[in-house]
Amino acid sequence: MSSLPFQKLLSSLSRPFTRFVDMVGVSRSVYMLDRSAAETQRLNNQHRFLVDLSNLIHPSIPKDKLTAVADLGTGTGIWLEDVADLLPNKSVYLHGFDISSTQYPPHHEIQRPGQNPIPLSVHNALAPFPAEHRGRYDLVHIRLLTAGLKQVDYIRVLANARDLLKPNGWIQWEEVDHTSFCTDAVPEPEVITRLRECVIEAMLKLGLWPFAPQRVFDEISANGFADVVRETYTTSGKEHLRPIAQKWVAGVMRALVPPCMVAIGQAGDPKQARGMTEQLVHEFEAHCETATALVNFGVTVGRRVN
Ligand SMILES: C[S@@+](CC[C@H](N)C(=O)[O-])C[C@H]1O[C@@H](n2cnc3c(N)ncnc32)[C@H](O)[C@@H]1O
């Protein structure tokens, strides 16, 4: 993961942590990553890594029965593109939604030779979807939406996603636990404990929720879904993912830790926070010469019941 988008995140966050906390309603976006060409590339690379780590569509979802699939917070639409290739039914209807079209391809659609393009719409998942989309889909997918999601927002996103589903339609919601910085080494080096505790303390202070996969599972379990399954995919034992996992975790640390340090007063300003973080991340990287960084990717699926 390139640290550039997250450097922007931290410079934004360090200034207005209070703005972050004050944000209300759906009209003000809390999404702080940048939307440059580099970020587009990063999202697509990240997609390959996460699919390698897990599954595009969870095995408990009957793929051959899917006729309409929506992706919320779709980013570049890369997940839908792969789903189009994977699904046996080539006439399946696919639709992506995102609060911003900046990373969409031209004309807001993904071209497919010999087939209908995949439409991509601009829509804030915190707001109800237009009537023509409600009750239309067999599968609604969400991935990595929660970086700026306040605790109260999870349930709103889930309710809107559920409205998109047909009865018995499936949700698949995937999040990374950014606070579970860890490796396969025991005992854990102090540097990792320190990095993790800093992020948890700051996120709680901001009204954000640091343990996204657990929260997603809890909300889906409690709000009108059956056959709920939670999987946690880790890089443990997957030797081929070791270098990319370390790079990915280090990128997350470089992004998240500096603004968190400022938020909880461990650093006086972003520059100092970046310097302090860089030292800690170097220690983490040195530790990873003999240990494997464990990415903690949580996937929850459930079937809509009335
Ligand atoms: C980290 S990216 C993940 C993109 C994509 N899901 C993937 O995994 O490749 C998060 C995406 O969520 C979008 N997003 C953030 N808040 C949103 C909201 N309230 N409604 C819809 N999309 C949102 C962002 O614009 C961004 O494209």
93-98 vs 68-72, strand pairing mode:
parallel
CATH number for the domain harbouring residue 215: 3.40.50.150
pLDDT at position 101, please?
95
What is the residue-wise DSSP string for 264-304? TTSSSSHHHHHHHHHHHHHHHHHHTTTS-B--EEEEEEEEE
Using CA positions, which residue lies closest to atom 1 of ligand 1?
144
In a domain, 255, yes or no: no
Say if residue 229 is exposed, middle or buried (CB neighbours under 10 Å; 0-12, 13-18, 19+): middle
Counting atoms of ligand 1 from 1, which one is nearest the CA of 44?
A: 9
In a domain, 102, yes or no: yes
The span from the CA of 146 to the CA of 148, in Å, is 5
Under DSSP, is residue 115 helix (H, G, I), strand (E, B) or coil?
Answer: strand
Q: Which domain holds residue 155?
A: 15-182+209-238+296-304
Span 277-281, average pLDDT: 97
In a domain, 53, yes or no: yes
Question: What's the Cα-to-Cα distance from 293 to each of 243, 247, 285, 288, rounded to whole Å?
Answer: 9, 9, 9, 7
The span from the CA of 130 to the CA of 164, in Å, is 9
186-213 residue pLDDT tens: 998 999 999 999 999 998 998 888 889 9
CB 120 within 8 A of CB 110: yes
In a domain, 221, yes or no: yes
Cα of 73 from ligand 1 centre, angstroms:
3
Cα of 145 from ligand 1 centre, angstroms:
5
53-101 residue pLDDT tens: 999 999 999 999 999 999 999 999 999 999 999 998 888 999 999 999 9
23-40 residue pLDDT tens: 222 223 334 345 567 777
Tally of domains in the chain? 1
